[in-house]
A and B are shown apart, each in its own frame.
Chain A
Amino acid sequence: MVRIIDRRFDSKNKSAVNRQRFMRRFKGQIRKAVADAIDGRSIKDLDNGENVSIPARDLSEPQFHHGRGGVWETIFTGNDQFSSGDQINRPQGGAGGGSGKGKASKDGEGEDDFVFNLSREEFLDVFFDDLALPDLVKTQLARIHEYKSQRAGFSNDGTPANINVVRSLRGALGRRLALGAPFHGKLRELQRALDERLETHPDDDPEVLRLKDEIAILRAKLEAIPFIDTFDLRYNNRIKVPKPTTQAVMFCIMDVSGSMDEGKKATAKRFFMLLYLFLTRTYEHIELVFIRHHTVAKEVNEEDFFHSRESGGTVVSSALELMKDILHARYASGAWNIYGAQASDGDNWENDSPHCRELLAERILPFVQYFAYIEITPGDPQNLWREYEKLGAAHRNFAMQHIEGLPDIYPVFRELFKKKLV
């Protein structure tokens, strides 16, 4: 008597809860591992998971056990050389050594770090944990504001412009066939009777005349069936399907003047990459606009943006002007979530900075979800920083940070996009 049960399809991923609990408990260590990993590898690698290793002692579940020491007498197998009473030197490292069982099994393999694989999703989750773009709830992402019209069969009413001719005529034909069917049958009968009568009788036979009359009446009735009726009309039906906004555009603005060296650029690059990565998790489609500037601004591709070298002075407003123009020309529809990220060493032409502030406040900030400025400079903030500082209070969608080097990026990023309580 046996019962065979196929359980292969129930309760998939049953251990997921336990895994989550494990991750939550070691969040600190996992976070640190993730932060180290980001430091250690190229930003483009962020799409991969990561092997996380946690020191075994952090993970241990303590129990009362015997420790090393005292007297132990243990049985071993495979005696090949010993006789009773032999004395042996204590083996180093405990291979086959005479310590207790409880010890051997627990500590033997326990000293290694506990290594496990974090999937890409979990990796990024840890990375982005408790980060969200500011006022995310207010973005158009959450609201459905755009509809897409889409065909959905046919309906019985609508505007004349939407009449579907084929469908309507097909309906009319069917109706005519259906309504005419009894008359057609009768007509064929009368016609046959008339033909028979005519073979034996002359044309003026009263029966022939009666039949002819009836046939005429039937024909009239058939003709009275309308060719097409309002009843037959079919209209193309269109319904509106809500279309969530899943697109964003991200403006990357970077100062490439002589004072921005490769190190600063690398820092800026990471900043842009992180922002981009974060946006990819929120939006389906993201366009990138790269604007670099020294005294004049230019829209370039990604390659040039990061790698070609320029020199000269700095006029930041040129880049902002260009951004404003592109924004109004290409992304004005309201269907775009616009983000701006600017990186500079803050060393602007003195008279230009107030102009930058005005530009930002009046022509750019009203249209963007968020604008972030980072100033990469080892020393004190420069003049652009001081001007921008005046913006901070009035505009919630503006943020700025001062960073000095690579290690600062992660905390800065968190600071910039820290969840705001709404």
Chain B
Amino acid sequence: MSPPKAKRRKPLPAPGEWTFELIEAYHAEIDRVAREFGLDTYPIQVELITSEQMMDAYSSVGMPVNYHHWSFGKSFLQTEKGYRRGQMGLAYEIVINSNPCIAYLMEENTMTMQALVIAHAAYGHNSFFKGNYLFRQWTNPDAIIDYLIFARNYLTECEERYGEEEVELLLDSCHALMNVGVDRYKRPAKLSLTKELTRQRERSEYLQSQVNDLWRTLPAQASRTHAVEARRFPPEPQENLLYFIEKNAPLLEPWQREVVRIVRKISQYFFPQRQTQVMNEGWATYWHYTLLNTLYDEGLLTDSFMMEFLHSHTNVVYQPGYDEPWYRGINPYALGFAMWQDIRRICEAPTDEDRQWFPDIAGSDWRETFDFAMRNFKDESFVAQFLSPKVMRDFRLFAILDDDKEARLKVSAIHDEAGYRRVREILSDNYNLGSREPNLQVWDVDVRGDRSLTLRHQAYLRRPLSGDSEEVLKHVAHLWGFAVRLEVANEDGSVSCLHECRRERRKHDAPQA
């Protein structure tokens, strides 16, 4: 930190009520300090909105524009109820991974909270969005808003043409598959509005022709018998159900494929966020804490401002213990904040333990280490790489093994010399989406027979699917148009059929335009 240039400057006014001038003044100071720390961000756009608009954005998956769907109305009602009861957490901040980066400030907040949100969202999250490899590879901030506008207009058009109900049923089915509608390993193409618009029509026509070819029933009988054994479709199991359906479902109309694609694209867009919660929230929390404290050291913030800020900050990073009634798992804000602080400590004042555990970063330049860690990790690898024994001790972490074949739970590791590595490994696995969410694949399509689709759940550690899966299967069948089966491949190699959803939807039954 550079030594304060103008020691004890006149503090910024800190009234309860904010004004546009004050927001600008605070922002200018926060911006100055953030630049001194070398935070690299997208340009910032601060938008002031009412609580109702904030709740609306909350319920439309945090986006300023989105298509209409009843489920957003439901979550609006839920959010509204939570807000009325004062249950919501951090000061209602929403930040959108777009360029320019849009940060929402809520009208009802005090000046202190506005400054906190600016530092947290507009500098913390913003720099993370710009730097982290997942976001760089998987999202295109220049185009997301345009794409959402395109999506909303397209769906409105579909509703006018095919009826609201028809579109709603389709969206229901797509939403049910959002979790399994992402490419985990293949990187998606970047979005662009103009490209989407111009290519959408030709794509739909081309797609339909491809699908038709796949389902061609004309081949001569003779060749058919030979092909049966040899051909398998899909040649490799597919992890992205929505993508597979978009490309191969036999009965979907072109517009329906486009809707599937829209849901898939949006789902894919949020995929990085689900994998970087601890890192991202911790990073933003670390920076609002550091930026505002720096300003306080410079004498720019009053004591009353700091009291309110710290009150709010401590609420955000509170981590209840496992036996407290409000325990809801590990608080990503708390863990992330602690880890980033700890990394800085390891860089600046390493102990012998740190030198032994983190020979690479102990004593290094903390800014460089931060930058490296922020850019190149996600929660799973971040924990595996940087969770130090000290943080494990501070949080008093312990692992519980719950095996449904055992009568009792077992404490498999705790925060001691023998358990550090094991605890870290398990926590890392807890953040691994691959093991947290069921592994489902498109296994087989009976191309020459009844056209049925078989999904296979690769069971991991005997974890079963929840009861919902039968409902989800109905949605798959709705999209696929023919029978759908769900199999479980157990770890001992046996395969059993879990559910089957028979459905014959002939072309003429399909709602016509």
Contact indicator per residue, chain B 400-420, by CB within 8 Å of chain A (1) or not (0): 111110011111111110110
Q: Which residue of A lies closest to B462 (CB)?
A: A70
Label chain B's interface by main secondary structure: mixed
Cα distance, A274 to B438, chains bound together (Å) = 54
Query: Does B487 belong to the interface (CB within 8 Å)?
Result: no
Among A83-91, A197-205, A316-324, the stretch in contact with B: A83-91
Chain B hits for A379, CB < 8 A:
none
Q: Is the CB of A18 within 8 A of B414?
A: no
Chain B hits for A2, CB < 8 A:
24, 27, 31, 43-46, 122
Given contacts A22-B74, A69-B464, A90-B408, contact A4 B329 (CB under 8 A): no
Given contacts A21-B73, A74-B400, A78-B395, contact A62 B463 (CB under 8 A): no
Query: Does A231 belong to the interface (CB within 8 Å)?
Result: no
Q: Is the CB of A18 within 8 A of B396?
A: no
Chain B hits for A227, CB < 8 A:
none
Q: Is the CB of A4 within 8 A of B436?
A: no
Among B64-72, B183-191, B230-238, B350-358, the stretch in contact with A: B64-72
Query: Does B62 belong to the interface (CB within 8 Å)?
Result: no
Chain A hits for B419, CB < 8 A:
84
Given contacts A4-B24, A18-B59, A62-B176, contact A70 B430 (CB under 8 A): no
Q: Is the CB of B45 within 8 A of A96?
A: no
Cβ of A125 to closest chain B Cβ, rounded Å: 16
In the complex, the number of residue pairs spanning A and B with C-beta atoms less than 8 Å apart equals: 269
Q: Is the CB of A15 within 8 A of B411?
A: no
Chain A hits for B175, CB < 8 A:
61
Query: Does B94 belong to the interface (CB within 8 Å)?
Result: no
Q: Is the CB of B179 within 8 A of A74?
A: no
Q: Is the CB of A8 within 8 A of B50?
A: yes
Q: Is the CB of B77 within 8 A of A116?
A: yes
Of the candidates B73, B323, B462, the one whose C-beta lies within 8 Å of that of A78 is B323
Cβ of B36 to closest chain A Cβ, rounded Å: 16
Q: Is the CB of B412 within 8 A of A73?
A: yes
Chain B hits for A59, CB < 8 A:
74
Cα distance, A2 to B427, chains bound together (Å) = 39
Query: Does B180 belong to the interface (CB within 8 Å)?
Result: yes
Among A101-109, A214-222, A384-392, A405-413, the stretch in contact with B: A101-109
Q: Is the CB of B426 within 8 A of A73?
A: yes
Cβ of B373 to closest chain A Cβ, rounded Å: 20
Chain B hits for A23, CB < 8 A:
73
Cα distance, A87 to B407, chains bound together (Å) = 9
Cβ of A9 to closest chain B Cβ, rounded Å: 9
Cβ of B28 to closest chain A Cβ, rounded Å: 8
Of the candidates A21, A63, A74, A97, the one whose C-beta lies within 8 Å of that of B430 is A74
Of the candidates B73, B320, B457, B463, the one whose C-beta lies within 8 Å of that of A18 is B73
Q: Is the CB of B48 within 8 A of A66?
A: no
Given contacts A5-B47, A78-B395, A84-B411, contact A65 B461 (CB under 8 A): no
Chain B hits for A105, CB < 8 A:
328-329
Among B209-217, B299-307, B467-475, the stretch in contact with A: B467-475
Given contacts A17-B68, A64-B180, contact A116 B81 (CB under 8 A): yes
Of the candidates B44, B70, B78, B400, the one whose C-beta lies within 8 Å of that of A21 is B70
Given contacts A18-B70, A66-B438, contact A7 B398 (CB under 8 A): no
Number of interface residues of A (CB under 8 A): 68
Query: Does B107 belong to the interface (CB within 8 Å)?
Result: yes
Q: Is the CB of B70 within 8 A of A64?
A: no
Cα distance, A378 to B322, chains bound together (Å) = 63
Query: Does B49 belong to the interface (CB within 8 Å)?
Result: yes
Chain A hits for B398, CB < 8 A:
75-76, 79, 82
Chain B hits for A15, CB < 8 A:
52, 55-56, 59-60, 72-73, 76
Of B43, B427, B437, most buried by chain A (CB within 10 Å of CB) is B437
Cα distance, A5 to B48, chains bound together (Å) = 6
Q: Which residue of B lies closest to A60 (CB)?
A: B468
Chain A hits for B469, CB < 8 A:
62, 64-65
Of the candidates B77, B176, B324, B325, the one whose C-beta lies within 8 Å of that of A61 is B176
Which residues in chain A, 90-125, are within 8 Å of chain B measured between CB atoms?
90, 95-106, 114-116
Cβ of A335 to closest chain B Cβ, rounded Å: 42
Q: Which residue of B lies closest to A17 (CB)?
A: B68
Chain A hits for B324, CB < 8 A:
78
Chain A hits for B76, CB < 8 A:
15, 18-19
Of A70, A89, A103, most buried by chain B (CB within 10 Å of CB) is A70
Query: Does B192 belong to the interface (CB within 8 Å)?
Result: no
Of the candidates B74, B329, B475, the one whose C-beta lies within 8 Å of that of A62 is B475
Q: Which residue of A lies closest to B107 (CB)?
A: A8
Which residues in chain A, 1-34, are within 8 Å of chain B measured between CB atoms?
1-8, 11-15, 17-25
Cα distance, A90 to B402, chains bound together (Å) = 9
Q: Which residue of B lies closest to A90 (CB)?
A: B409
Chain A hits for B168, CB < 8 A:
21, 25
Cα distance, A2 to B30, chains bound together (Å) = 11
Query: Does A80 belong to the interface (CB within 8 Å)?
Result: yes
Cα distance, A12 to B51, chains bound together (Å) = 11
Cα distance, A105 to B43, chains bound together (Å) = 35
Chain A hits for B327, CB < 8 A:
76-78, 96
Chain B hits for A65, CB < 8 A:
437-438, 465-466, 468-469
Chain A hits for B466, CB < 8 A:
64-68, 102-103, 106
Cβ of A117 to closest chain B Cβ, rounded Å: 8
Given contacts A3-B45, A5-B45, contact A66 B401 (CB under 8 A): no
Chain B hits for A90, CB < 8 A:
402, 407-409
Cα distance, A104 to B400, chains bound together (Å) = 15
Of the candidates A5, A63, A68, A85, the one whose C-beta lies within 8 Å of that of B468 is A63
Query: Does B371 belong to the interface (CB within 8 Å)?
Result: no
Chain A hits for B396, CB < 8 A:
77-80
Cα distance, A101 to B438, chains bound together (Å) = 12
Cα distance, A66 to B463, chains bound together (Å) = 6
Which residues in chain B, 436-494, are within 8 Å of chain A measured between CB atoms?
436-438, 440, 457, 459-469, 471-472, 475
Query: Does A71 belong to the interface (CB within 8 Å)?
Result: yes
Q: Is the CB of B48 within 8 A of A87?
A: no
Of A2, A77, A85, A97, most buried by chain B (CB within 10 Å of CB) is A77
Q: Is the CB of A64 within 8 A of B81?
A: no
Contact indicator per residue, chain A 216-249, by CB within 8 Å of chain B (1) or not (0): 0000000000000000000000000000000000
Query: Does B330 belong to the interface (CB within 8 Å)?
Result: yes
Contact indicator per residue, chain B 138-176, by CB within 8 Å of chain A (1) or not (0): 000000000000000000000000001000100010011
A-B contact pairs, 13 of them (CB 8 A): A7-B48, A8-B107, A11-B53, A19-B76, A21-B168, A63-B178, A66-B464, A76-B330, A76-B399, A77-B330, A79-B398, A87-B411, A95-B325
Per CB-CB distance, the 8 closest pairs between chain A and chain B, nearest first, are A78-B321, A98-B402, A22-B73, A70-B463, A18-B73, A67-B466, A62-B471, A70-B462
Given contacts A5-B47, A6-B20, 7 further A-B contacts (CB under 8 A): A2-B46, A5-B46, A19-B77, A69-B463, A70-B404, A74-B399, A106-B466
| B residues neighboring A (CB under 8 Å) | 20, 23-24, 27, 31, 43-50, 52-53, 55-56, 59-60, 68-74, 76-78, 81, 100, 107, 122, 164, 168, 172, 175-180, 319-325, 327-330, 395-404, 407-416, 418-419, 423, 426-427, 429-430, 436-438, 440, 457, 459-469, 471-472, 475
